[in-house]
Amino acid sequence: MNSAAHWSVGQKVTCINDTFPSAVLDWCEYLPQAGGVYTIRAMQISSDRIFGQAALGFLLEEIVNPPSSLGKEAGFVAERFTPWLEKCPESRRQPQPRILHYENTGV
């Protein structure tokens, strides 16, 4: 799910991969953590600094990093995230009413 058509600004996502190479600290002060829920603030296609390939990246509402040496905030590759509701299907279910069993003991 790396196509921009599957993502939207304002969408909640869950980080599924927070294993970053140490070089990332050269351009990011703050990083997402696995299991954390984040909101997409912006999307951008840019060159992945690790692999040098074009990749869809997210800027997140909850994480704002200073501009990198390239003059703009570095995003996080979309492959590190999954849509929040897909990751947590139980959040879509309606809670079932609890049925309590009452037993008359005659006391």
**pLDDT tens for residues 58-106?**
999 999 999 988 888 989 999 999 999 754 555 444 443 343 433 444 5
Residue 26 pLDDT exceeds 60: yes
**What pLDDT, on the 0 to 100 scale, is given for residue 73?**
92
Look at the pTM and tell me if it is higher than 0.85.
no
Per-residue model confidence (pLDDT) at position 85: 77
Confidence (pLDDT) at 42: 97
Distant-in-sequence, close-in-space partners of 79: CB < 8 Å, separation ≥ 6: 2, 17, 55
In the chain, alpha helices (H): 84-87
